[in-house]
């Protein structure tokens, strides 16, 4: 099948907006592949932290990104034969990912890897710039958002659920700092793509958000 006709559903949005859960479930329902683009930035960040790479060295970070030995196996994320599914979710890794994601060379190095996820019968791509930069011809673009308070509460419950201690005030500050960085960076800033459906999930359950995305998808071409 010609790549350009393989459907892409782009789901973008800020940290903890619920897009991971929603994108995953939409992919499951449709039998589509799933691209967690944030995981690629997190894998690069984890590699850099472990190797002690200078986090201001754009060229060295881009090289790391370009040569990532990673694979996605079911729900597991493997980096150089190690299962790092949990390790990449650490707050330190997320914050580092958001810093290195401001570098053009790093974003460019991860481009080919992301495009490679476009495989039949289709892909649901989750990130910040899926609809605006990586897959501008996605058949459906969704921008999921939620209030900072709702997102901080979700993140808090997630962490506590995993037995990780968390502080609501720190989480709020972290989310705001990451939003600022993601929204105000010059390259691929976090903005709704042209033609994106904006969905505020502050008062929606994950099931309701999934149903809305599937409804938009079903309505295409009608
Ligand atoms: O979505 P997640 O929180 O896993 O992403 C980690 C970081 O990677 C984000 O804060 C963002 O800065 C960066 N990112 C990005 N572009 C994407 C996905 C993630 O810049 N498409």
Using the mean position of ligand 1's atoms as its centre, give its distance from the Cα of residue 207 in Å. 23
Q: Tell me whether residue 84 is in a domain.
A: yes
Task: For residue 222, tell me if it sits in a domain.
Answer: no
Among 182, 58, 211, 33, CA closest to 122: 33
Q: Which residue has the tokens 């691929």?
A: 188
Per the domain annotation, does 35 fall within a domain? yes
Look at residue 1 in the predicted model and tell me its pLDDT: 57
Using pLDDT thresholds of 50, 70 and 90, give the confidence band for residue 3: low
Span 39-55, mean pLDDT?
97
DSSP letter (8 states) at residue 133? I
Question: Is residue 50 scored above 80 in pLDDT?
Answer: yes
- Which of 121, 94, 80, 104 has the alpha carbon at shortest distance from 36? 94
Q: Is residue 123 in some structural domain?
A: yes
Q: What is the pLDDT of residues 108-117, one digit of tens each?
A: 999 999 999 9
Does any domain span residue 86? Answer: yes
- CATH number of 182's domain: 3.40.50.300
User: What's the confidence (pLDDT) of residue 4?
Assistant: 66
Q: Which domain holds residue 58?
A: 3-217
Summarize the confidence of residues 22-29 as an average pLDDT. Answer: 97
pLDDT at position 191 over 80 = yes
Q: How many domains does the chain have?
A: 1
In whole angstroms, what is the distance from residue 152 CA to residue 26 CA?
23
In a domain? residue 98: yes
197: helix, strand or coil:
strand
Please tell me the predicted confidence (pLDDT) of residue 2.
62
Residues whose beta carbon lies within 6 Å of some atom of ligand 1: 15, 37-38, 41-42, 94, 97-98, 101, 127-129, 178, 182
Q: List beta partners, residue 143.
A: 12, 198
Pocket test for ligand 1, best of 41, 151, 181, 183 (most atoms within 8 A of CB): 41
pLDDT bucket at 183, cuts 50 / 70 / 90: confident
Query: Would you say residue 59 lies in a domain?
Result: yes
């Amino acid at each position: 099948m010609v790549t350009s006709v393989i459907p892409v559903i782009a789901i973008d949005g800020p940290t903890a907006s619920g897009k991971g859960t929603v994108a995953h479930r939409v992919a499951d329902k449709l039998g589509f592949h799933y691209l967690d683009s944030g995981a690629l930035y997190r894998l690069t960040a984890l590699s850099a932290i472990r190797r002690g790479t200078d986090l201001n060295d754009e060229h060295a970070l881009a090289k790391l990104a370009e040569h990532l030995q990673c694979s996605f196996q079911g729900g597991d994320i493997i980096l150089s034969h190690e299962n790092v599914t949990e390790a990449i979710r650490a707050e330190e890794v997320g914050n580092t990912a958001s810093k290195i994601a401001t570098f053009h060379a790093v974003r460019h190095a991860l481009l080919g890897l992301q495009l490679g996820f476009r495989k039949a019968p289709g892909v649901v791509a989750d990130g910040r710039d899926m609809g605006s930069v990586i897959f501008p011809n996605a058949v459906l673009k969704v921008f999921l958002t939620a209030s900072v308070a709702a997102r901080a509460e979700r993140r808090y419950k997630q962490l506590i659920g995993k037995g990780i201690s968390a502080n609501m005030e720190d989480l709020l500050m972290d989310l705001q700092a990451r939003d600022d960085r993601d929204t105000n960076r010059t390259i691929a800033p976090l903005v709704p793509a042209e033609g994106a459906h904006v969905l505020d999930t502050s008062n929606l359950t994950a099931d309701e958000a999934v149903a809305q995305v599937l409804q938009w998808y079903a309505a295409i071409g009608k």
